[in-house]
Amino acid sequence: MEAKITISYKSVREAEAVAKAVSPDNLKAPPGLAIKTIRRGPKVVTLVKCERNLESLIATIDDLLMSVQVVERAISV
């Protein structure tokens, strides 16, 4: 299974902050899960590949979006 999540921001600076904050997840994914986050202009694109079950994919996406939300709150202060 694969998922592609694209989030648009008002500026490249915001997108860069979010991408950098969540990119450590790229390195520490458990076996059967691959996560890659990149910035494309003012957008953050995350690709998730899951060889596990649907619940793992959903939990991974949920964790990612929660992390993004935390970063967005931090940079808006």
Q: In CATH, what number is assigned to the domain containing residue 15? A: 3.30.310.50
Domain membership of residue 68 as a residue range: 2-76
66 neighbors 22 (Cβ within 8 angstroms)? no
Q: How confident is the model at residue 23 (pLDDT cuts 50, 70, 90)?
A: confident
Q: How many domains does the chain have?
A: 1
Q: What is the mean pLDDT of residues 53-72?
A: 94
pLDDT of 48 = 95
pLDDT of 26 = 63
Burial class (CB in 10 A: 0-12, 13-18, 19+), 27: exposed
Both structure tokens of 47: 């690709």
Phi and psi at residue 36, to the nearest 5°: -135, 125
Q: How confident is the model at residue 19 (pLDDT cuts 50, 70, 90)?
A: very high
Cα 26 → chain centroid: 9
| pLDDT tens readout for residues 26-60 | 667 889 999 999 999 999 999 999 999 999 999 99
